[in-house]
Amino acid sequence: MNQKWDERYKGNEFAYGKEPNLFFKEWLPKFEHGAILMPADGEGRNGVFAAQLGWQVTSFDFSAEGRSKAQQLAGEQHVALEYIVGDFEQLHFEKNVFDAIGFIYAHFPAEKKSIFHRKLDDTLKPGGIIILEVFSKGHLHFKELDPKVGGPEEIDMLYSKAEITADFANYEILLLEEEEVLLNEGKFHNGKGSVIRFVGKKRTT
């Protein structure tokens, strides 16, 4: 898995651009900054944006090349972030340490999705926020029409609103919607697609 992403990230060009995801950019400033976890942060465009807002950022990804690019981008923006390279299954985070999670196009194998979601939930403090944008199951239609829009090819790696509500049942839903969007995120997210957008607040009881 890491070889695929190292290949994608090793060039000079940023595969998904340097600008943050628009949904993440819209929602993150609504919350008081603290510590944020950024799964599958790739070349760091979203983690660096969070750091620019004053968040203490911990990013992780499979790819050492992604970390190098993220550190380059952080240097350009005069911010710092902690970036861990590794498989999420093998990484250990303390419970209840993060104030927010930025979950932007973090697609996991179908048999591991719910397990990973529970592991992420464990790291989030009660009252903490998750901001999530992922490709919906309806996205497969758009990918078949135009492969350059990106996203997984396996439908079980894609998301439904029902999966989100089941896996994050202990959250107050601030927003949950499936939406068709026009993506313009570098070379690999380009064109019309279908996404799930979710903002949730972890309940305190």
Q: Is the pLDDT of residue 205 over 80?
A: no
If you average pLDDT over residues 160-174, what whole number do you get?
Answer: 97
Distance, CA of 86 to CA of 111 (rounded, Å): 19
Class of domain 2-202: alpha beta
Query: Confidence band (pLDDT; 50, 70, 90) for 110?
Result: confident
Q: Is the pLDDT of residue 99 over 60?
A: yes
- Can you tell me the distance from the alpha carbon of 193 to that of 181, in angstroms, rounded to the nearest whole number? 5
Residue 2 pLDDT > 80 = no
4 confidence band (pLDDT: 50, 70, 90): confident
Mean pLDDT of the chain: 94
Residue ranges of domains in the chain: 2-202
Give the CA diameter of the chain.
47
Strands (E), 76-159: 82-85, 98-104, 124-135
* Per-residue pLDDT band at 175 (split at 50, 70, 90): very high
Confidence class for position 1, pLDDT limits 50, 70, 90: low
* Cα–Cα distance measured from residue 187 to residue 198, given in angstroms and rounded to the nearest whole number: 25
Q: How far is CA 96 from the centre of its chain?
A: 19
